[in-house]
Every structure is written in C-alpha cells, then in structure tokens.
Amino acid sequence: MTPAFSLCVYCGSKPGTDPLYAEVARKVGHWIGSSSGQLVYGGSNNGLMGIVATATLEAGGKVVGIIPQSLVKLECAKTDCTELHVVDTMQQRKLMMANRADAFLALPGGIGTFEELFETWTWRQLGYHNKPVGLLDAGGYYRAMIDFLSHGVAAGFIHDYQMELLTIGHEVEPLLGQLHRAAAALHQPLTKTS
C-alpha cells in the first residue's frame, strides 16, 4: 500500500539537553504513522533520529532509513525499518532521501541537520525540486537562526521570496498539516544534483 504522505525528517543523532526535543520527535513520528504516512530519514537508531523512527513504526507508519556504510556502526543503523538502504556515500544518501520524500522537515539537530536543511532549501530555490521545506522551531531551538536569516534579508543577501520557500512553525500538528497539504499534488523526483 502506497503511503498517504512521505516526509523526510532531518534531526539530531543525539537527544539534546531538553526533554522537549524528544517529545517533539515522538509527536512527529506519531503524526506520520497515524496519518498512514511514511518517514524517510537517515537510518540511525540514535537520538532524535531513533525516536522519530520508533514512534512512526509504533503508530503504524512505514520507515525508510538510508545510511552510508561508514555510519552503520557509528550511528547504530535501525535494523527494524520497513526499508533500510545502506549506500556508499553521503551524496547518495541525501539524493535518495530527497527522491523518496514529498516534503522535508528539520527538527532540532546539529551541523548535519543544518547542512541538510540548507541544501534542500537551496535546491528548492534553484528549481531542483518544488517540494515544501519546513522548520520546526521546537522550544525556540532555531530562534537565533531565524533572527539571523532575517538579518540576512535586511543585509541584502537573502531575498524575501527565498524566505517564503521555508515554512516555519512552532507546533507539530499545524506545521505537518501545512506541509502535507502543500505536497498533496507534488510527486516529482529530484532530477538534478548539486
């Protein structure tokens, strides 16, 4: 059965210091699973990554994990994914994640999460895809970054239209509902590489 919605989630391989981050990851996974959706993610069983994947499975959703061979042991690959793909490179991982998703969402995370978010957002503004990109500012984790992005607009390096391509929310259900609705008519693969 084809999932109703395939969401690529970028998030930390650590749980973070605030229990709210884990709670939000569980809520995201529960929403995906209870909405007959599919999670696409980096394939780790650690941190927020493992939490969102486990919650998706527990709520009846499908989980597609994609992990480079070099990270299988380091990040503890989640072997009970519906599909677990072990690839050769990070580039293959990111392209496959993008192709399997209808939309993208960044939860709290570190530099890997930042890199994935900014690359996917850049791909959208360059026309490599037209899938919605969301940022969940759980507990104000991204507040300083959002302020910095506004500074980039004021300084003339980021355009307002680029900011409009990033959907920012503070609560799980409204943001995921918005991404789901925006992606409903979009089922296109990523056809270019950066």
Question: Per residue in 109-118, pLDDT tens?
Answer: 999 999 999 9
Reply yes or no on whether the pLDDT at 28 is more than 70: yes
- Select 8-183's CATH number: 3.40.50.1240, 3.40.50.450, 3.40.50.300, 3.30.420.40: 3.40.50.450
Reply yes or no on whether the pLDDT at 168 is more than 60: yes
Write the pLDDT tens digit of every residue in 83-93: 999 999 999 99
Q: Which residues pair with 114 in a beta bridge?
A: none
pLDDT, position 2: 80
pLDDT, position 86: 97
pLDDT, position 188: 47
Q: Which residues pair with 67 in a beta bridge?
A: 86
Reply yes or no on whether the pLDDT at 21 is more than 80: yes
pLDDT class of 187 with cuts at 50, 70, 90: low
DSSP 8-state secondary structure symbol assigned to residue 44: B
Write the pLDDT tens digit of every residue in 37-60: 999 999 999 999 999 999 999 999
Write the pLDDT tens digit of every residue in 57-67: 999 999 999 99
pLDDT class of 99 with cuts at 50, 70, 90: very high
pLDDT, position 184: 84
CA distances from 9 to 75, 79, 92 (A): 16, 18, 16
pLDDT, position 139: 95
Residues 137-141, mean pLDDT to the nearest whole number = 97
pLDDT, position 185: 61
Report d(CA 80, CA 144) in Å as an integer. 36
pLDDT, position 194: 43
Neighbours of 187 (CB within 10 A): 10
Residues 136-150, mean pLDDT to the nearest whole number = 98
Nearest CA among 140, 119, 125, 144 for reference residue 10:
119
Alpha helices of the chain — where are they, by DSSP H? 19-34, 47-58, 90-100, 111-125, 143-154, 160-164, 172-183
